Structure 1
Amino acid sequence: MRRLLYLSAFLLVPALSAVTPLVAVPAITASAGAGGWEAYALGISIGSLVCVIVELGWPLTGPQRVAAEAPGVRWATLLQSLRTRAMALIVLAPVAIVLAVALTQATGSEHETTTVLMAFASAAAGLSCSWYFTGVGRPLRILTSDAIPRALMVTVAAIAVANGAPIWVVPVGYLLAVLYGPAAALSLARDEREGRVTFTLREDLRSIRSQWAAMSGRSVAALYMALPVTLVAAFAPSALAVFAAADRLMRMALTVLLALPNAMQNWVGSASSAVERRHRIQRAILVNTGMGVVAGAGFALLAPWVSTVLFSGTVDIDPLLAVVSGGVLALVCVSRATGPLGLVRYGRIHTLTVSATAAAVVGVPAICVFAALGGAIGAALGEVVAEITAISIQAAALGAAIRRDRGSGT
């Protein structure tokens, strides 16, 4: 029963996180039509790309790291992660803003302010401390510091837009909630503080360097995971609205499904022997793969109907696009097990960078070319190519690690 409650808490967190950005969509499309949705979605895409760099790889390496640390040590880890991520945001936020301005001008959008504000707000989401509470097994603290404040602020903003406020009120509400999150997280985690913690700029830079492999891998992966909407805006602008709709619904589903690998982080990371480690990793891959297949099929069936309701009839997802996007969803579920669970447990973070780089080298051109030739469906096929490339490399490296582990006789 306790395990069920634990998993339910982890499920509620990503469910709220997934639904929150979409709460405002009906109000935005009813107020500003497909053009308003395109501006909002483009801002999320640009900001999400920058967000991955701002995170500095902490959502990848942090959960299993703090799961193994003593309370006082992991409090210091949390503080240093926030300091270094704040430094990254100060440097990179202008990049998100400039890119948002350039693309809205290139596409002739009338909602530049909305795109710019949403890009900045999504980039600032890299300051989230959800990974910390995942690692220490406190999912309810993610709700109170992160998920619930975001849901409340975006809902209030959506109501305001529905009653005549400009649509840029939505990213402003989201930004306020995003900035509240780190402060609330520090307050909730203060019971683990032991003594005074001091840092220097040299230590901050050393911390950033230590996170370089994880950060670079996630950053490169963002080129084919967070960037497709931006690429479609550049290479197939006429397909932007429908592709952004399918992509956002798929990412929403993936955010909900993140509950399972998140709940397994502590379980995989706390394996006490090599045999138990292999068993848990293999089981995690099987469970996540099965979940991905079921979820992908469900997405293919339901996405066309959901889009009609959610986007106020202004955007309709083609059934074939729904099938291809469902395939992407299933593949991402597999890679979440082979990479952040399996390879990270074996300390093969460098392999994640290699797989992400290969996927980006293959996937980004595929998305661009396929989008120019086949619109939204072509762009989704490019994502499939990228995910298959990444999974192939991860599976080969993980298989080698498991065989070496077994051959050691432990």
Structure 2
Amino acid sequence: MFVFALMPVLSTLSNLVLLPTISSTFGQAGWTSVVLGQGIGAAVSVVCSLQWPTEGPALVARAPSPLAQAMLRASMRSRLVALVACLPFAVALIVIVDPPELLVCVLSCLATAAIGMSPMWYAVGIGRPSILIWLEGIPRLVGNLLSFGLILGGALLWTYPAVMLAVSVFTAVVSWFLLAGGIRGNGQVWRNEQNRRSVSFATLARSLDAGYNFILGPVVALLAPAAYPVFGACDRLGKVVISGLSIVPQGAAGWAAEPHDESVRIRRVRLARAWIMPVALLLFVFLTFATPTLVHLLFAGTVEVSLSTSALLAGVVCMAFLAQFLFLTGLAPTGHATAGYRYLVIGFAVGLPSLVVGTLLWGANGAFLGVLTAGALLVGLSLWRIRTAIRQVSVAAA
């Protein structure tokens, strides 16, 4: 539990140190370029991570140690291929959007995209989340502090994403040699039992999910440039919160999927669903009232946010957090991961048009309203499927 508390602290501390410095030193042009690049890179990281962050912890938790290591090796190979394939499209999108600082935006995209090679899901699945502290948390904090010092010393803004790109590459290389067995491996070979159609659908669903969760910034920047500073600042804050909280569903996923007895798994799924709802409500209330102050501090007063915008952002963050939590601790452990992927496709089909229409009509608020609509639909469908699965097991047991 110490690790689960420490990782969000390290992630949040990094953002609290750098964002105000970048905003005050390089102005709105600087931080919008960084945030836009990170948003596009985050989309790439979701796509290239394939289905591993959602299904990987459960697979690894039930596998013997040599086979689990083979899974990590196979995942890193496939994720690297996907990453290389996605990067040209990401760079092309950045060129089309034309941010104020092109090099900064591209490097920010690359640094964030490389996070898709993270072994977080593997560490959680094998029950050793503590390795994430020295493998990801501390290197990322050191990279941010180094960037902070360079910027204070007069370095150009591109040095920040360049340092963070080096950190992401370091994490991937160390993971390959220390966790995945290096070049030779352990002799075990893991083959995915899913057919290509299932894997392709899972990848497509996560790609579409990335579309309406992370390509929001470029869409708003293209359709309503004047609304982007407010939207970009709030969206960045939301990503910071979601990133900091991501270890919660990741950690709970291994706990929920660990038991081989189906009835025990169902009890854990029911318990997880019960306690996460008040947590989400508290998160919504906190963000609604804290967002204006947080945005003002993080972006050095270069942008101000109204209470209505902060309430919409709070709703978006809560829906995203709940959707991730319910997938990892509800749909996946009950054998309904495929249904979850279908819901992602439905969410995209509803969310992207809602985002476009909302942005054109009401700017930043309309964009958040469109994303909130898709998120609420996704959470509602997930809760319905989990409740149905629990009822089916209860009837069978009776």
TM-score (norm 1): 0.91
Q: CA, structure 1 residues 174+317, in 2 after alignment: closer, same or farther (shift >3 Å)?
A: same
In 2: Cα distance, 1:206 partner to 1:290 partner? 36
Give the corresponding residue for 2:164.
174
Give the corresponding residue for 1:285.
273
In 2: Cα distance, 1:293 partner to 1:157 partner? 35
In 2: Cα distance, 1:167 partner to 1:60 partner? 34
Q: CA, structure 1 residues 351+324, in 2 after alignment: closer, same or farther (shift >3 Å)?
A: same
Give the corresponding residue for 2:132.
142
Secondary structure, aligned partner of 1:101: helix
Please state if 1:155 is matched with 2:145. Answer: yes
Give the corresponding residue for 1:4.
none
- Which of 32, 49, 62 aligns to 2:26? It is 32
In 2: Cα distance, 1:27 partner to 1:205 partner? 48
In 2: Cα distance, 1:351 partner to 1:368 partner? 26
- Which of 203, 208, 214 aligns to 1:215? It is 203
Secondary structure, aligned partner of 2:130: helix
Asked if the contact 2:220/2:228 (under 8 Å) is kept, the reply is yes
Cα offsets for 1:379-404 (capped at 9, x unmatched):
11111101011122222222222222
- Which of 377, 380, 393 aligns to 1:389? It is 377
Give the corresponding residue for 1:13.
7
Please state if 1:195 is matched with 2:186. Answer: yes
**More displaced 10-residue stretch of structure 1: 339-348 or 203-212:** 203-212
- Which of 76, 87, 93 aligns to 2:70? It is 76
Q: CA, structure 1 residues 333+92, in 2 after alignment: closer, same or farther (shift >3 Å)?
A: closer
In 2: Cα distance, 1:392 partner to 1:164 partner? 50
Give the corresponding residue for 2:108.
118
Residue 343 of structure 1 and its aligned partner are, at CA, apart by: 0.7
In 2: Cα distance, 1:133 partner to 1:198 partner? 19
2:97 aligned partner, one-letter code: L
Q: CA, structure 1 residues 308+178, in 2 after alignment: closer, same or farther (shift >3 Å)?
A: same
Asked if the contact 2:70/2:180 (under 8 Å) is kept, the reply is no
Matches within 5 A, 1:251-262: 251-262=239-250
Cα offsets for 1:192-246 (capped at 9, x unmatched):
99832468xxx69989766434322222211221121121111111111111111
In 1: Cα distance, 2:251 partner to 2:282 partner? 19
Q: CA, structure 1 residues 140+162, in 2 after alignment: closer, same or farther (shift >3 Å)?
A: same
Residue 49 of structure 1 and its aligned partner are, at CA, apart by: 1.1
In 1: Cα distance, 2:244 partner to 2:233 partner? 17
2:80 aligned partner, one-letter code: A
Q: CA, structure 1 residues 204+190, in 2 after alignment: closer, same or farther (shift >3 Å)?
A: closer
Asked if the contact 2:266/2:334 (under 8 Å) is kept, the reply is no
Kindly report structure 1 stretches of 4+ aligned residues shifted beyond 4 Å. 190-194, 203-210
1:99 aligned partner, one-letter code: L
Cα offsets for 1:335-365 (capped at 9, x unmatched):
2232222111122122112111111111111
2:9 aligned partner, one-letter code: A
In 1: Cα distance, 2:17 partner to 2:55 partner? 31
Give the corresponding residue for 2:220.
232
- Which of 83, 95, 102 aligns to 1:101? It is 95
Q: CA, structure 1 residues 227+183, in 2 after alignment: closer, same or farther (shift >3 Å)?
A: same
In 2: Cα distance, 1:280 partner to 1:205 partner? 26
2:331 aligned partner, one-letter code: L
In 1: Cα distance, 2:314 partner to 2:352 partner? 19
In 1: Cα distance, 2:241 partner to 2:275 partner? 17
**More displaced 10-residue stretch of structure 1: 396-405 or 40-49:** 396-405
In 2: Cα distance, 1:63 partner to 1:397 partner? 21
Q: CA RMSD in A?
A: 2.3
Q: CA, structure 1 residues 371+291, in 2 after alignment: closer, same or farther (shift >3 Å)?
A: same
Unaligned runs of 5+ in 2: none
Give the corresponding residue for 1:65.
59
Asked if the contact 2:250/2:328 (under 8 Å) is kept, the reply is no
In 1: Cα distance, 2:165 partner to 2:276 partner? 32
Asked if the contact 1:343/1:349 (under 8 Å) is kept, the reply is yes
Task: Percent identity, please.
Answer: 27
2:124 aligned partner, one-letter code: T
Asked if the contact 1:220/1:353 (under 8 Å) is kept, the reply is no
1:288 aligned partner, one-letter code: I
**More displaced 10-residue stretch of structure 1: 48-57 or 253-262:** 253-262
Q: CA, structure 1 residues 63+230, in 2 after alignment: closer, same or farther (shift >3 Å)?
A: same
Matches within 5 A, 1:392-407: 392-407=380-395
Q: CA, structure 1 residues 214+148, in 2 after alignment: closer, same or farther (shift >3 Å)?
A: farther
Q: CA, structure 1 residues 271+32, in 2 after alignment: closer, same or farther (shift >3 Å)?
A: same
Asked if the contact 1:220/1:356 (under 8 Å) is kept, the reply is yes
TM-score (norm 2): 0.93
Give the corresponding residue for 2:80.
86
